[in-house]
Structure 1
Amino acid sequence: MGLDWLMEFLKGTLKLFLHPIFYYSFFLAAVLGVSRVKRERKNFSVRAENAYFELRQLLPLGIVIGLGISVVMMGVGIAIPFAAIVFVALLTLLLSIAMNPRLLSPVFTVGFAFFLTIFAGGEKWSVPLFQNAFLQLEEKIYPSIALLLALLVIGEGILIFMNGKKGTSPKLTISKRGQRVGIHEVKRLWMIPVFLIIPGSSLQAQFEWWPVFSIGAESFSLLLVPFTIGFHQRIQGMLPIKAVQAVGKKVVALGFLLVLMAIGSYWLPILAIVTVSLAILGREFIALRHRLTDDSLPFYFSKRNNGLMILGILPESPASKMGLQVGELVLKVNGSLVHDETGFYTALQRNRAHCKLEVLDAQEQIRFVQRALYEGDHHELGILFVQDEKKWGTEVG
């Protein structure tokens, strides 16, 4: 019996490579990376992370979260209709056309798929390739989709909290008062592969080679399904790490509330509809509340009279190795007060062999950092500031 299950897991894993969304997610992540690099070069004439950064974030943490969701879904024997998986894939393709990662949140892809599945069950659709998939829909299956959505929302929150804070992208913009200021932006794409039990033999009916196993009188298929999770956040009034983590915590809390409601829907099926509706409205409320709160705050990355605000740090640069952080204020360079970027590099040139900075950190504490400088370091220290007027383009904020 154990060997049979192992073989089913291996077959289910191989089926991941048959899913078009698996490959499409890599394409979308690559597009996000290239567009970010182009914008950063336009603002700063240099990019922060390379174009492969978004691709590197796509899977690692998502695999761990997917395993956790798989254990829950399979451990309690929850089956998901294949019709819902088809709808999720179609919605992922359609919603991605706008190139707004926020629309790829599971509350939209899985949430809207939930309502389409209910509608399809009532209409008894017959879809080419998967005729039987839409003929085996029953009311008792809908709470399972609601529970899957709730678990994916928890996964989304964990990804935002742990991964969304990494590599936030600095950006120059023009405030409503016409001043040049800095903001940070996160556009991220993740993939959560989840093992799902598919009831019936709808897949085998179309593809004779598709393996099906039986539990009692019921037949099932095992499928590793890739769920694409998108996230977009713009931060102007606080430190990017704190802003992103605050959203992540709220999304995780929403997910746990949805889990409780989804469990209750097994006894009160109408609660499944309430759960999915709350997921959509709750996730939108979290995004809207953050946006309104952030817009009400003054720009964090703006020009200061007492120093230079660090908008970004290039990876593996001298500044990164010195431990400088985004949001810190450079007060002095080699003992000289600095007020603009020109003064900063002029002070660096006064001591070509050594760099000593006095900075004010996010906790309003003064600290000193220093490093020996090598040839070229003076011009490539790796700090991005809110720059003076230059030819590079910015946006109106």
Structure 2
Amino acid sequence: MAYAWLIEIGKGIGKLFLNPLLYYLFFIAAILGVSRVKRERRNFHIRAENAYYELRQLFPLGVVVGLSLSLVSIAAGLVIPVETLFFTAAFTVIWSLTTKIRWMAPAYTLGFAFFVTIFAADQRWQLSSFFTSLKVKEATIFPSIAVLLALLIIGEGILIVRNGQKGSSPKLVKSKRGQMIGVHEVKRLWMLPLFLIIPSEALKSPFEWWPVFSIGGSTFSIILIPFAVGFFQQIQGSLPSAAVKAVGRKVIALGVFVTLLSISGYWYPLASIAVVTLAIIGRELISLRQRVADENLPFYFSKRNNGVMVLGIIPGSPASNMGLQVGELVTKVNGRAVHDRSSFYEALLKNRAHCKLEVLDVNDQIRFAQRALYEGDHHELGILFVKDETKKGNEAV
């Protein structure tokens, strides 16, 4: 019996690759990568990460988090109507068309799908011959959706904390005073594949092969569904890693809070409506408060008189091998004080065979970084600076 289940679950995983949403998420991630590379080349005449970086972030951590959430969901006995999954996929596509990638987060996709599910149940929609799982008399359906949403928000927060700060993209923008400053942008899409329990009567043709099990006289099945998690954050007043992790921790806290509240829906089903509403508003408030707080901070990546601010590091470059970090201030090159790109380059050419940098790190501690330079290294050290007032300051060193 166990062997048969493993075979059927394996088939179910294979069916995931027939889901159009899976390939649509690949398409969106590819667009994010290409658009980022174009912008970085426009700003610096060179890209940081290659165009495949966003695609590489789509799966690995999301699979681990998704499987963990699947165990919790199945252990809790959450039964999700197929209609809700269909509406969630529809909202994933709809919100992606707005180009606001953060709207592809679970609070906005599953959250809005929850309210459409209620409306569909009230109007007794019949979407197709195999969407028949929604029963108005099932009092636990809506609380289960609320709990699932809370779990997905927790998963989103974990992804932000663990992966969001990696590969943040440097960007040049103009301040309100017309001064060129540097910011960091995180525009990421993850996929959370979850095994979910659905009513077995929803699995009509072409799903007759799917295994079912009985609980309390009702039959259910397990199906693997890909959920999208979109995230966007622009940081100008602090280090990207600290700012992104702070948002991620707040999202996790929101998810835990919503999880505790969502349990009340099993005793008071109408409470699920308030819980999902709170989840949507809470997630929006986190983004809004982060944006307002960041805009009120002084510019972190601005031109300095006592050194050159490191806005970005090209992966695999000599600068990366020397251990330089985003947010550090290069104060001296080969013993000469520097204050802009031109003086940096002139000091670098002072010794074509060796490079020694005096760096003020993010903790205001002075350290030294050095290495031998080979042919061409002095032209491609791999540091992205805030733009000088001259046009050539828009390039990398």
| Deviation readout 1:178-211 (Å, 9 max, x if unpaired) | 111101101000000000011132222x325441
What aligned pairs does 1:1-397 form with structure 2 within 5 A after superposition? Answer: 1-134=1-134, 138-204=138-204, 206-207=205-206, 209-216=208-215, 217-391=217-391
User: How many Å separate the matches in 1 of 2:340 and 2:390?
Assistant: 14
Asked if the contact 1:121–1:137 (Cα under 8 Å) also holds between the matched residues in 2, the reply is: no
| Deviation readout 1:292-326 (Å, 9 max, x if unpaired) | 10000111000001000000000000000000000
User: How many Å separate the matches in 1 of 2:260 and 2:134?
Assistant: 28
**SS at the partner of 1:225?**
strand
Shift of 1:218: 1.8
User: How many Å separate the matches in 1 of 2:68 and 2:84?
Assistant: 21
User: How many Å separate the matches in 2 of 1:139 and 1:265?
Assistant: 9
| Deviation readout 1:96-135 (Å, 9 max, x if unpaired) | 1012111001000000011111111111101134342445
Using the TM superposition, name which of 136-145 and 113-122 deviates more: 136-145
Q: TM-score, normalised by structure 2?
A: 0.96
| Deviation readout 1:145-196 (Å, 9 max, x if unpaired) | 0111000000000111110000000001111111111011010000000000
Using the TM superposition, name which of 105-114 and 385-394 deviates more: 385-394
| Deviation readout 1:212-268 (Å, 9 max, x if unpaired) | 413153222221000010000010000011000000000001111111111222122
Asked if the contact 2:5–2:211 (Cα under 8 Å) also holds between the matched residues in 1, the reply is: no
**SS at the partner of 1:192?**
strand
User: How many Å separate the matches in 1 of 2:104 and 2:330?
Assistant: 39
Tell me which amino acid in the other structure corresponds to 2:185: E
Asked if the contact 1:354–1:372 (Cα under 8 Å) also holds between the matched residues in 2, the reply is: yes
User: How many Å separate the matches in 2 of 1:351 and 1:256?
Assistant: 56
User: How many Å separate the matches in 2 of 1:375 and 1:319?
Assistant: 15
Asked if the contact 1:125–1:135 (Cα under 8 Å) also holds between the matched residues in 2, the reply is: no
Asked if the contact 2:133–2:199 (Cα under 8 Å) also holds between the matched residues in 1, the reply is: no
Using the TM superposition, name which of 380-389 and 124-133 deviates more: 124-133
Aligned length: 393
**SS at the partner of 1:139?**
coil
Kindly report the root-mean-square deviation, in angstroms, between the aligned alpha carbons of the 2 structures.
Answer: 1.6
User: How many Å separate the matches in 1 of 2:4 and 2:82?
Assistant: 22
User: How many Å separate the matches in 1 of 2:387 and 2:338?
Assistant: 14
Using the TM superposition, name which of 153-162 and 259-268 deviates more: 259-268
User: How many Å separate the matches in 1 of 2:128 and 2:342?
Assistant: 66
Give every structure 1 segment of 4 or more consecutive aligned residues whose post-TM-superposition deviation is greater than 6 Å: none
Identity among equivalent positions (%) equals 60
Q: Aligned pair in 2 of structure 1 residues 78, 393: CA closer, same or farther (>3 Å)?
A: farther
User: How many Å separate the matches in 1 of 2:348 and 2:391?
Assistant: 24
Asked if the contact 1:185–1:233 (Cα under 8 Å) also holds between the matched residues in 2, the reply is: yes
Shift of 1:391: 5.0
Asked if the contact 1:126–1:134 (Cα under 8 Å) also holds between the matched residues in 2, the reply is: no
| Deviation readout 1:41-85 (Å, 9 max, x if unpaired) | 000000000000000000000000001111011122221111110
**Structure 1: gaps of 5 or more residues:** none
Asked if the contact 1:44–1:392 (Cα under 8 Å) also holds between the matched residues in 2, the reply is: no
Using the TM superposition, name which of 22-31 and 137-146 deviates more: 137-146
Q: Aligned pair in 2 of structure 1 residues 208, 63: CA closer, same or farther (>3 Å)?
A: closer
